[in-house]
Structure 1
Amino acid sequence: MKLFKRFHFIRLSKVRSMPLVIGLSCFLSLGLSSQPVFADGHKSFEITILHTNDFHARFRPISKYDNNCSAENNAEGKCFGGSARLISAIEDARSRHKNTILLDGGDQFQGTLFYTMYKGKVAAEMMNKMQYDGMAVGNHEFDDGPVTLRAFMDTVNFPVLMANANVDLEPELKDKLQKSTIIVKDNRKIGLIGVVTEDVVDISSPGDNIIFTDAITAVQTEVDALTQQGVNIIILLSHSSYAIDKEIAANTTGVDVIVGGHDNTYLSNVSDRAKGPYPTVVNDTQIIQAYAYGKFLGELSVVFDDKGEVVSATGEPITIDKLISENSDVVARLDELEVPINELKEREVGSVSSELNGNRAVCRVQECDMGNMIADAMRHAVMDKGYTIALMNSGGIRASLDSGQVTLGEVMTILPFQNTLATFKVTGKQLLTAIENGVSEVEDVAGRFPQVSGMRFTFDATRPAGDRVTSIETQDEYGWSNLNLYGTYGMVSNNFIRGGGDGYKVFRSASDIYDFGPDLADVVAAYIDANPGYSGYTDGRINQE
């Protein structure tokens, strides 16, 4: 089995003896013992937490743009991730550590044609093969409602957890979805708790029967319950974002490690691209996250004393790249699963002459060329019917696009949610409210940020949310004009946004609503086909003061 180079960085909390801890860490790194003895005779307990998050059905290797990676590029070592490499990395890590636990921070669902065709079945199969020990519910686990989540939970061999919700009124999840659980590793109890982002109602489709609650309160309640059962090592699986994880750590007691997700945060001690150290320590809680899409496998070795206090935490995410061999059985199984979707996936729909940037770090804070193309495609499809303004939520843009021939599979990877085109009419005041919502969380890189066509606007992010938009102009056959708050405008968006998703609740009270247009991916594919050699561009339709 191939071994990987490791970078070890010690982060200490409640340190009893600095020389002892440093010596202990070196001792552990040699793999000589899993339970060293402290000077006072007490035994320590070491466990290595392996973790993933926001995998989004990337079972096959992906490119540097998080999109499809061709077999040729994969053979040349240009690809990352994929289940076949990930399982090899997991097996290697297990061979190097006596005690390991494999956890996921949520959002296994949605993102490729594998999910479009099989829903959660492939994720369940692959996670069972990798022998996960636990998973948080992510917001995308609700994209097809509680029924699909329940089918996934019935298939997997590990607990799926969500503490910050009451599911008693949801028959698919009542008595099935746990808030927390206890597992045992090397005769030591470990408590696992799960939480999901509190805005899941806005950004997914959990239905009307689930009541979501405050994450911090929910976590502390479960910690207290686990503590009463004699558990003094507690790991939180949090699909909430790096910022929220730090808030949870700062405002709770008893959580030792938070395995995060939701905002695709890369933490590292060696990369200048990292948003913070691995682990990030807040209130003696070790916070870890491993970006997304299977590009990394998090690996954190934690030493606890017999009271469950963290003595040391060392590690670094493993890059899942060409240095890791692909498991041939997994490759063969994915080949088999892919047969029914290959014809659809490989059909060429046109070409683009330049790369289009769909990176969330760009499209969720400013105008981006991918957003412009999608919004223009939506507007082009319905403009002859009098709908002249298009709005696309950047959270629905899930990948970038290389230049060259474009397949339907690539378009569906960029727009994986099977949203349909929705047309409706709003007043100018409603449109202003919508754009204010769109820029209200720009500092959080939220998915509600709007990409638009047929309009242009300026906003000031230093002003309070709800009062940030400083100008809006709309376009018709006569040119550009200032927004008329009392006028009526025909709009096109997707059915998710029109139904109030991503905070666009104002669109629920629109008029002349029709939510059942063609699939958004098909609309964009047709637009690419109608514009051979399309070249991406930005033209100042979104400006920030």
Structure 2
Amino acid sequence: MKLICVVTIALLLLGLAPVAGAQGGDFTLTIVHTNDTHARIEQTNANGGTCSADDAAAGKCFGGVARRMTAIGQIRREGGPMILVDAGDQFQGTLFFTQYKGQESVPFMNAMGYQAMALGNHEFDDGPATLAAFIKALNFPVVSANTDVSREPGLAGLIAPYAILEAGGEKIGVVGFITEEAGILSRPGPNVTFDPIEPAVRAAVGELRSKGINKIVGLSHAGVERDQQVAAAVDGIDVIVGGHTHTLLSNTDSSAYGPYPIVVKSPSGAPVLVVQAFWAGKYLGRLDVTFDAAGTAIRWRGNPILLDSSVPQDANVLAEVRALAEPLKAITEQVVGTAAVDLDGERTSCRFGECTMGNLLTDAMLAATAAEGTQIALQNSGSIRASIPAGPVTLGQVLEVLPFGNTLATFDLRGDDLWAALEHSVSRAENTENEGTGRFLQVAGLRFTWNADQPVGSRILSAEVKQPDGTYAPLDRTATYRLVSNDFTRQGGDGFEMLAQKAINPYDFGDPLDKVFADYLKANSPVAPRLEGRISRAEAATAPTAVIVTPVATDTATAPLPTTGAADNTAGQLLALLVAGVAVMLVSAGILLRRGAGLQG
């Protein structure tokens, strides 16, 4: 449930009104911010993927550090007090990170004049040593009040709970915090811990206020829902600049999650302004806030700035980006296959339901381990980082989809533990703004139905395993199955503790996942994966609803159930729907379950 606590309609309208000149002790600050750029130092297409030559020629590319440099310079030349901050996840997502391990971002962030950065969970993807080298190269502090690195020799002393910035003669406190789940979302190692957010932030705010600082910005990598909870629980924060959930807040885009800013009441009733600026550097956030003498926000206005082709790219920065890109060309331009259809790897698709990229990838994993008798493939959707448009597929695109360097992991697993893994997979997937949705599993050799209206732990209605003849049989909770996943998930990443603890004879050192995918494309192109009904989301059970079962052709709003198999398989599917409180009408022998409108993306 969205925790959007708007102070009043009048206050919101006032906040969106132009900021007038300061009166008396009033002070106006411009907060410029980014989040979740994920190594997108080049301009990208609309979805954060590779900007093709055709897209560039048509002016359909966005972001990139050269364009961001121009936009920041334009704001800075206005001459008012300003701070520039980043809410984390500079790491991971393109070949630039694979090659340069975060150092690709350093010179540009320093040159732009960033003044503080929050830790993101992906900053730990390559371990503490890579993060330490990154922080040491920056000209500004990295802050996280709820991250304890005191026992990690490489990071000890490099991360502070807060920073104190100066703008227009005023001191601004910036308190960092990160999702408490960073430890299972990344690879920080055993010596780094993540504490509960509210107590850590409350303590940091208290220290700042004891120093006489009454204008405080939270710099968060916890997600928009969590940011609103923190705003409502901790006094003394005026603004929260967020990241992690890749959320667009906007006053002009009807597809946005909410207004920019979202206004939340603090425990004392003061307004707290919550902002976030999507991801991949497509937007540059700008919030102008006027504070009174007591440090309370009294007026504000702002909106994310779309960094499209109307914003020119800084020529000097662009030249530096191209120099960094040159060594990567031999990799990025190698064609490994062809896609006959778009391969959908978007987080709004893959983290909440079946997606074509997930189907293709898990099929490749099964094929690569067929000689071992593998029956089922599981792939966490958080490891799928990009889509690929129809046409030639390059190795560079493959590496953008799978940038983490994961390897295949094979193991045996009892059916009851597999059921528990499926329950964990859907435990956050009822809301597209939930954090932790990267745990949603894409599957092959398996199909399941789930209901978001049921309690967590009781959402899986049915699960069936594909048989050698192509039919499906109910998952036997007492049987043992042969599985393939990736090493991150098998070792308990994304909270899959049952895979870490219950896997039988695990081997986590198979071929690199990107190689497996590229080899599959080479052997099977052109590929044309489709939605097959591997993952079905049941209709809400609040009232009986007729689900028409007909043999019509599939489209983007439908998820077909396979028509092959014995009659008891059909009966099992219908029974699962009846359990969910859905009235079913069997119209003909062919079956197609229309997916509920609740599935977003």
Question: Do the two structures share a fold, i.e. TM-score over 0.5?
Answer: yes
In the superposition, the TM-score normalised over structure 1's length comes to 0.93
1:192 to 152, 165, 174: 174
Q: Does 2:134 match 1:152? A: yes
1:455 is matched with which residue? 446
1:505 is matched with which residue? 497
2:458 is matched with which residue? 467
Task: Report matched runs for 1:100-111 at 5 Å.
Answer: 100-111=82-93
1:373–1:389: structure 2 CA closer, same or farther, 3 Å change rule? Answer: same
2:322 to 299, 320, 335: 335
Matched-pair contact (CA < 8 Å) for 1:12–1:310: no
CA-to-aligned-CA distance 1:320-379 (integer Å, 9 cap, x gap): 000000111111111111122110111110110111211111111111111111111111
Q: Does 2:259 match 1:268? A: no
1:288–1:488: structure 2 CA closer, same or farther, 3 Å change rule? Answer: same
Paired with 2:361 and 2:376, the residues of 1 have a C-alpha distance of 12
Q: Does 2:518 match 1:525? A: yes
Question: Which deviates the most, 96-105 or 403-412?
Answer: 96-105
2:413 to 426, 429, 435: 426
1:464–1:97: structure 2 CA closer, same or farther, 3 Å change rule? Answer: farther
Q: Does 2:346 match 1:354? A: no
| Cα drift, residue 520 of structure 1 | 1.0
SS at match of 1:537: coil
List alignment gaps of at least 5 residues for structure 1: 1-10, 29-35
Matched-pair contact (CA < 8 Å) for 2:290–2:300: yes
Question: Which deviates the most, 461-470 or 248-257?
Answer: 461-470
| Cα drift, residue 543 of structure 1 | 0.9
| Cα drift, residue 167 of structure 1 | 1.8
1:203 is matched with which residue? 185
Paired with 2:351 and 2:88, the residues of 1 have a C-alpha distance of 21
| Cα drift, residue 22 of structure 1 | 9.6
Matched-pair contact (CA < 8 Å) for 1:12–1:313: no
Task: Report matched runs for 1:22-41 at 5 Å.
Answer: 25=18, 27-28=20-21, 36-37=22-23
2:468 is matched with which residue? 477
Matched-pair contact (CA < 8 Å) for 2:19–2:299: no
Give the root-mean-square deviation of aligned CA atoms. Answer: 1.8
Paired with 2:521 and 2:19, the residues of 1 have a C-alpha distance of 57
CA-to-aligned-CA distance 1:213-244 (integer Å, 9 cap, x gap): 11011111111111001110000010011100
2:3 is matched with which residue? none
| Cα drift, residue 12 of structure 1 | 8.3
Aligned partner letter, 1:64: A
Paired with 1:160 and 1:88, the residues of 2 have a C-alpha distance of 24
Aligned partner letter, 1:198: E
Paired with 1:320 and 1:107, the residues of 2 have a C-alpha distance of 19
2:363 to 376, 392, 402: 376
Task: Report matched runs for 1:174-193 at 5 Å.
Answer: 174-193=156-175
1:139 is matched with which residue? 121
List alignment gaps of at least 5 residues for structure 2: 1-5, 266-270, 539-601
In the superposition, the TM-score normalised over structure 2's length comes to 0.84
1:67 is matched with which residue? 49
1:222 to 177, 201, 204: 204
Matched-pair contact (CA < 8 Å) for 2:342–2:389: yes
1:516 is matched with which residue? 509
| Cα drift, residue 73 of structure 1 | 2.0
| Cα drift, residue 424 of structure 1 | 0.8
2:103 is matched with which residue? 121
CA-to-aligned-CA distance 1:491-543 (integer Å, 9 cap, x gap): 11111001100111111131121111111111111111112221130100111
SS at match of 2:323: helix
SS at match of 1:302: strand
Percent of aligned pairs with the same residue?
43
2:567 is matched with which residue? none
Paired with 2:245 and 2:351, the residues of 1 have a C-alpha distance of 12
1:81 is matched with which residue? 63
Q: Does 2:378 match 1:391? A: yes
Q: Does 2:144 match 1:162? A: yes
CA-to-aligned-CA distance 1:455-507 (integer Å, 9 cap, x gap): 01111111111111111111131432111111111111111001100111111
| Cα drift, residue 166 of structure 1 | 2.0
Paired with 1:363 and 1:97, the residues of 2 have a C-alpha distance of 44
1:488 is matched with which residue? 480
Matched-pair contact (CA < 8 Å) for 2:331–2:395: yes
2:556 is matched with which residue? none
2:394 to 407, 412, 423: 407
Question: Which deviates the most, 152-161 or 63-72?
Answer: 63-72
Paired with 1:303 and 1:178, the residues of 2 have a C-alpha distance of 27
2:553 is matched with which residue? none
1:231–1:533: structure 2 CA closer, same or farther, 3 Å change rule? Answer: same
Paired with 1:235 and 1:434, the residues of 2 have a C-alpha distance of 38
| Cα drift, residue 165 of structure 1 | 2.3
